Amino acid sequence: MKAGKDKVIAFHYTLTVDGEKVESSHDGGEPLWILLGHGQLIPGLEKALEEHGAGDTLQVEIPPADGYGERQEGQIQRVPKKYFQQGNRLKPGMVTVLSLKQGGQRAVTVHKVGMSTIDVDMNHPMAGKTLNFDVAIQEVREATEEEIQHGHAHPPGAEAH
């Protein structure tokens, strides 16, 4: 079976940027389970996985436009510390998660820490970077109706939630 929209894919990956390993699913031992076509992956990686099957390995270079976008100047925003978990422990250069007023979260880079506010760069930490993925596809299967309704894959042992 080939990967495509509404298919569940399990794969291991290693992400490198500028020759440095950023993260790897091999470190945790479990593959990443994704429901394709539902915005769970950056566009370039999702497109690269399409039409591949279990046992395939691929190396993918993703330019910023198909990853996290280009860096944009003027994206520094001052945010009250209350919107951060453990805001008192943050230091310039750290990447953290910002809870958004409208719901959801966003990865940001700390620019400056004040007494009651934190200046953050709203660009994604990987914006402007070319991403290199080494991927090994473990499994491709049809998504269940429940997975499609939920908008994400249910790995083995996590069917009910």
**Alpha carbon 93 to chain centroid distance?**
19
CA dist 100 → 27, 51, 108, 150 (Å): 30, 36, 11, 22
Tokens of 72: 């944009």
How do residues 7-21 score in pLDDT, each as one tens digit?
Answer: 999 999 999 999 999
- Angle (CA) 72-78-81 rounded to 5° is 130
How do residues 100-133 score in pLDDT, each as one tens digit?
Answer: 777 778 889 999 999 999 999 999 999 999 999 9
Tokens of 161: 């939630």
